[in-house]
Amino acid sequence: MSVRAVRSKLPGEFVDELYRAFPISEADRILRGFARRRYVTLRANTLKATVDEVLSELKRAGVKCQRVPWYSDALVIQNKREQYIESLELYVQGKVYLQSLSSMIPPLVLAPQPGETVLDIAAAPGSKTTQMAALMQNRGRIVAAEIDRMRAERLMFNLERQGVTIAEVFTRDGVIVADEFPESFDRVLVDAPCSGEGLFIASQPATYNHWSRRMCKRCAVSQRRLFDAAARALKPGGAMVYSTCTLNPDENELMVESFLKRWDHEFEVLPMKLQVQGWAPALEQVKGRIVMPEIRHTRRVFPSQLMEGFYVALLAKKG
Ligand code: SAM
């Protein structure tokens, strides 16, 4: 599908905003990234199986996979769709978790260690909670907040299936949960509710029909509340990741910039050690205004057949 064809399918206001926010070459690249369905990707759940066990079970089931250079637990499925993977025994047993590659980035950047305490302030359906538990080898504690009851149930189901024993689910506003634990966590993940622009696929209207400017504004209000509450719950010296699956600079670069201004030198943005193929430094300029230079340490992922569009920032609370 050409850029022009993708453009004609998406909400006109979204396309206008995209070309206002991004240089033309980047906006074109983003639209090209919406042109085709993405590969199915999954993560081997190392709480239940090694990657090699998963690879041989998948091979026996006729599934062709490719490894991902920046994450040994991630696999790209080359010849099957989700439904087929979901029908396999290793899926039902929780040895794998269907998860986009972009969604695997924030836990890797936050890098929770065994024995630590972690807050996941907007947690359902639990892709990142389960990944963090695996990184922590099921040692330590994860407080997982989710405001939506149905989604919290899905989260609990996924934790159970993946064999996670260190996570406690709070079905409440993450702001209220965070404020019950002031300065308590070694690490906090703010995987914020967002307008989801990184997930658009031109041939699937359900991925973009919900989009509106008003919705982006509502998301920004929620992001700001959760971001500030997360900051209050973080121990001095602790690390925090802010991430979204959207492209909108108001929810990304400008959200982090306004956070830094509100918290006036209490937080710093850290460069990330992880190297993901194809990700890019954040925007230097948004709508003609130069953003704070430290925002350049944050990263954007362009949508493609392999990755959803994504944004991630690593921050440290000064000790
Ligand atoms: N981290 C999740 C994962 O990787 O599976 C995805 C999180 S999704 C981007 C955002 C979630 O935040 C949604 O499940 C939404 O219901 C929840 N949410 C929205 N507002 C919230 C709030 N105030 N407190 C807690 N959760 C909230």
For residue range 122-136, list pLDDT tens digits in order. Answer: 999 999 999 999 999
In short, whether 99's Cβ falls inside 6 Å of ligand 1 is no
Q: What CA–CA distance (Å, rounded) separates 33 from 89?
A: 33
DSSP state of 220: H
Kindly indicate the confidence band of residue 59, based on its pLDDT and cuts at 50, 70 and 90.
very high
Q: Are strands 117-120 and 185-191 parallel, antiparallel or unpaired?
A: parallel
216 lines ligand 1 (CB under 6 A): no
What's the Cα-to-Cα distance from 77 to each of 48, 81, 203, rounded to whole Å? 20, 8, 21
For the chain, the first-to-last Cα distance in angstroms comes to: 51
Task: Return the pLDDT at 173.
Answer: 98
Predicted pLDDT of residue 265 = 83
Region of poorest pLDDT, from 2-6, 49-53, 162-166: 2-6
Tokens (6 digits) for 178:
């965070």
Rounded Cα–Cα distance for residues 196 and 181 (Å): 29
Whether ligand 1 lies within 6 angstroms of the CB of 122 is answered as yes
Give 288's pLDDT tier (boundaries 50, 70, 90): confident
Active site residues: 245
CB of 145 closer than 6 A to ligand 1? yes
Mean pLDDT, the chain, integer:
97
Between strands 234-244 and 185-191, the pairing is parallel
Would you state the pLDDT for residue 232?
A: 98
Share above pLDDT 90 across residues of the chain, in percent, rounded to a whole number: 96
Q: From ligand 1's centre to the CA of 252, what distance in Å?
A: 16
**What is the atom index within ligand 1 of the atom nearest the CA of 121?**
25
Q: Kindly state which CATH superfamily the domain 101-317 is placed in.
A: Vaccinia Virus protein VP39 (3.40.50.150)
Q: Which of 110, 160, 163, 117 is nearest to 140 (CA)?
A: 117
Pocket test for ligand 1, best of 191, 219, 255 (most atoms within 8 A of CB): 191
Question: How much distance in Å is there from the Cα of 136 to the middle of ligand 1?
Answer: 21
Q: Is the pLDDT score of 319 beyond 90?
A: no
Cβ of residue 251 lying under 6 Å from some atom of ligand 1? no
Position 139 pLDDT exceeds 90: yes
The span from the CA of 204 to the CA of 36, in Å, is: 10
Where are the domains positioned within the chain?
Answer: 101-317
Sorted by sequence, the CB contacts under 8 Å of residue 80 that are 6+ apart come out as 40, 62, 63, 64
Inform me whether the pLDDT recorded for 227 exceeds 90. yes
Q: Is the pLDDT of residue 298 over 90?
A: yes
Return the ∠ at Cα 55 (arms to 58 and 34), rounded to 5°: 75
Could you give the CA distance from residue 133 to residue 99 in angstroms, rounded to a whole number? 15
pLDDT of residue 1: 83
Which is more confidently placed, 95 or 286?
95
Q: Does residue 127 line the site of ligand 1, with CB under 6 A? A: yes
pLDDT in tens, 194-211: 999 999 999 999 999 999
- Contact at 8 Å (CB) between 114 and 141? no
Local structure of residue 295 (DSSP, 8 states): G
- Tell me if 196 CB under 6 Å of ligand 1: no
Binning pLDDT at 50, 70 and 90, where does residue 287 land?
A: confident
pLDDT (tens digit per residue) in 256-276: 999 999 998 899 999 999 999
Mutate to test the pocket of ligand 1, among 148, 175, 176, 251 (most ligand atoms within 8 A of CB): 148
Q: Choose one of 45, 147, 180 to mutate for the ligand 1 pocket test, by most ligand atoms within 8 angstroms of C-beta.
A: 147
The atom of ligand 1 lying closest to the CA of 191 is 1
222 lines ligand 1 (CB under 6 A): yes
The SS3 assignment for 216 reads helix
What is the enclosing helix (H) or strand (E) of 198?
A: none
pLDDT at 264: 86
The alpha carbon of 276 and the centre of ligand 1 are apart by a number of angstroms equal to 24
